Chains A and B, each alone.
Chain A
Amino acid sequence: MRLKQKVTTRVNIPTASMSDIAFLLLLFFLVTTKFRKEIGFKVLLPEARATERIIKTENLARIYINSKGQISVDDFLVNPEGVASRFKLKVLENPGVIAYIKADKRVKYDYVDQVLEALRDAKALRVIFATEFKKG
């Protein structure tokens, strides 16, 4: 009678290329990450329940209005006429441009109104008012 010899099979996972995979992932994320271009102002955004997420962010052009009523576009301090002239160029470059207004909630409506008028002058009609989700 023959006794069966026990064969112990060794299981091993090849981990030599694991680091390559990990670095590849790291590089991929490094390359695809887009950094925000402008600094803008620090603003306290108003809260709204109907706030929507904006998925397509390539078309957004940000306008910052701080609590003193200063307006910043592409990190330039501008007046409402400046907003109009800058957005005229933006509309020429990309007709689907969306003005993303980040205005401080304490600012007088006057400044926002002037910016809206300037946007109408520049025919940049798609506007988004930046808000935060309202809790509760």
Chain B
Amino acid sequence: MPVLPKSKIPQEAEIPTASMADIAFLLIIFFMTSTVFMRDKGLKLVLPEKAGGQVVKIGGERVIRVSINDVGEIYLEEENITSLSDLKEKLANRILDYKAKHEGKDPLIIIRTNVEAPYEKMIEVFDVIKQIPEAKAVSLASIKTGG
């Protein structure tokens, strides 16, 4: 019986790579859509330096006080303020008044928050002040009850 010679054609092994791009793009799209970006955002403030021996005194007239008491009520100087839009308007007027009287000098606004007040209230007031473009100098202070 004649033996047939084995076919000499080498068998080529092939990996189908045509769909590889699809797979890779699918992976990219999956990661793009499933990623949650944590954007950092907030209100900026620069704290005053701790006085090393020298204390800078500011004239009482230059200071505009916004106070928050222990239950979260807001006072502009002595006046009770009920709405935040009201506070914005009145504070802006006060700043413009001061500027007109003192050759364009900026007044200093101090937010005095009672230590018992919720943090949210302080941010609400700070937010209002940030929205007034004339308010340049803002400082934070705290009121301790009974002290």
Contact = CB atoms under 8 A, between A and B. Distances in A.
Interface in B28-52: 28, 31, 38-50
B23 to A, nearest CB: 8
A79 B104 CA distance: 43
Given A29-B31, A48-B127, A131 B25 contact: no
Interface stretch (A2-10, A88-96, A119-127): A119-127
Tell me the dominant secondary structure on chain A's binding face. mixed
Interface string A87-129: 0000000000000110111111111110010011101011111
B28 A26 contact: yes
Given A18-B21, A19-B21, A120-B48, A36 B38 contact: yes
A134 B126 CA distance: 14
B77 interface: no
A16 interface: yes
Tell me the dominant secondary structure on chain B's binding face. mixed
B46 A126 contact: yes
Contacts of A57: 40
Interface residues of A, number: 49
B47 A116 contact: yes
A19 B24 contact: yes
B44 A52 contact: yes
A106 B119 CA distance: 6
A31 interface: no
Interface of A: 15-16, 18-19, 21-23, 25-26, 29, 36, 46, 48-54, 57, 60, 100-101, 103-113, 116, 119-121, 123, 125-134
Interface of B: 17-18, 20-21, 23-25, 27-28, 31, 38-50, 68, 113-124, 126-127, 130-131, 140, 142
Given A19-B23, A121-B50, 8 more contacts: A15-B18, A48-B130, A50-B43, A54-B40, A109-B115, A128-B42, A129-B42, A132-B41
